[in-house]
Amino acid sequence: MADFHMNIPLFSRLRQLILCSVVALLSVAITHATENEVVVISPHWDGIQEETSRAFSAWHQKKYGSPAIIRWRQASGGASQIVRFLRSEYQAGPSAGIDVLYGGGVDPFVAFKKDGLLTPYDPPADILAQIPAKLNGMEIYDPDHEWFGAALSGFGIITNERARKAAGLPEVHTWEDLANPATFNWIASTDPRASGSALMIDEIILQAYGWDKGWAVLMEMSANTRNFLASSASAAIEVGVGDAAYGVAIDVYGQAQAGFYGTGNVSFVLPQGQTVITPDSIAILKNPPHPEMARRFMEFVLGRDGQLLWMMPKGSPGGSTRYVVNRMSVWPALYTELAGITPITTNPFTMHSDFVYNNKLGTQRRAILSVIMGAWMIDTHDVMARAWETLHSPAAQKLSSDRQAALLADFVATPCSEKELLHLADTDWKDPIKRTALVNQWQNDALNRYKRLLAQIVAN
């Protein structure tokens, strides 16, 4: 017993030493994790986020001798919702508590730069030398280095070929093909007020066809649409599973569905001469909580390892491991280097198109365009679709061709000229009270038009 009591102090000291060591190790681990953490907000789907986390940690381990953690901040909806969230955070304080905005096209980055919400970043010279400043007149990165294209995006049409053939539906190759009444109730689309890529597609259509013709195409496409979802990914998935036969999508979602189901079952096309390749951007936000890790993340994404992640096949060295995340790289040299290896078959740096996208115009009317489209094509969609269906009903077919043409022209007529919309964007739209009045007016005008058309057809 005496020996036992004599050993109690020794045991207590050993226990204290062990506990202190564990606490010290945990403290080092927690500090290390915090130091090697970057907070990123992104509209990218889960597969891209998971593959990026894995690849960035491996790159960081190789370069800096320790793994790294990406803490993804989630925001409901797509890029447009993230923009609203970040604006509200910066209105509340000097920092959003987020290091990097990753994805969402280019317009939000241009707007954030204008508002002073981005932090300049200078990539290593060898990385910057690989990235052209422009592609077909569009900037791939900001001349002041406040934002950079992380990948290149094309916008096109996804088709479930099995569903299309089973239903006897037509092939589609252009945006105007989706205005065909034969596609009625077979298109899955996305609300442009919630999705930056959906709004970009609408803007491309308006610029490719011109304001009047483009608006008509969008009206007819919207009338053929079965539903408007909150994200472009959801619309592409609906096409993939066959709930819809057609959809409009950014290439990353269209190619993901084609890759998963096989190109014979699901196809994705970029309308020839009617689309544009744009940067899908990345930037360090204002007052980032982890500035050094934010710079390292930018270096990874823009560097060779980050660009190979887009270009290499799943399961190959440098490529993804679980998900197909193939996209077009901003490094022209990789298209030649990886020819015959990469599943990316489009080289945007050798494509030719006479269509030149006006980025300044798109940015100028971005906010007001999404809302006027919402009022005319989405919030009033039930009545709109009924009017469109009735315009092609047996009752309408009994009318003279001139009368049918007049009714159709009334249906697709623009609510205002392009010049008037731009004027509103710079005037009434900036006043909250006048803005609300405009939205109410657009909705009422749309409903009155659709109801008038229905009444006129029924009356005949």
Q: Does a structural domain hold residue 377?
A: yes
Across residues 90-107, what is the average pLDDT?
95
Burial class (CB in 10 A: 0-12, 13-18, 19+), 168: exposed
Dist CA 432 CA 381 (whole Å): 25
pLDDT in tens, 233-287: 899 999 999 999 999 998 888 888 887 888 889 999 989 888 888 899 999 999 9
Q: Does a structural domain hold residue 60?
A: yes
User: What does the pLDDT read at residue 263?
Assistant: 82
- Angle (nearest 5°) at CA 220 between 280 and 205: 30
User: What does the pLDDT read at residue 80?
Assistant: 78
Q: What is the DSSP string of 358-390?
A: -HHHHHHTHHHHHHHHIIIIITTHHHHHHHHHH
Q: What's 198's domain CATH number?
A: 3.40.190.10
End residue of a domain, out of 230, 254, 275 = 275
Dist CA 179 CA 183 (whole Å): 7
| Whether pLDDT at 231 is above 90 | no
Structural domain of 109: 36-151+279-337
Domain check: are 269 and 249 in the same one? yes
Q: For 63, how many CA atoms within 13 A lie in the half-sphere containing its CB?
A: 16
Domain check: are 185 and 263 in the same one? yes
Q: Does a structural domain hold residue 13?
A: no
Domain check: are 381 and 435 in the same one? yes
Across residues 339-351, what is the average pLDDT?
89
Q: Does a structural domain hold residue 9?
A: no
pTM of the model: 0.76
If pLDDT is split at 50, 70 and 90, which confidence band does 448 have? very high
Q: Which helix or strand (DSSP H or E) is residue 155 part of?
A: strand 155-160
User: What does the pLDDT read at residue 12?
Assistant: 47
pLDDT in tens, 292-332: 999 999 999 999 999 999 999 999 999 999 998 989 999 99
Dist CA 395 CA 454 (whole Å): 11
User: What does the pLDDT read at residue 34?
Assistant: 56
If pLDDT is split at 50, 70 and 90, which confidence band does 20 have? very low
Dist CA 416 CA 428 (whole Å): 14
- The total of structural domains in the chain comes to 3
Domain check: are 159 and 271 in the same one? yes
pLDDT in tens, 410-422: 999 999 999 999 9
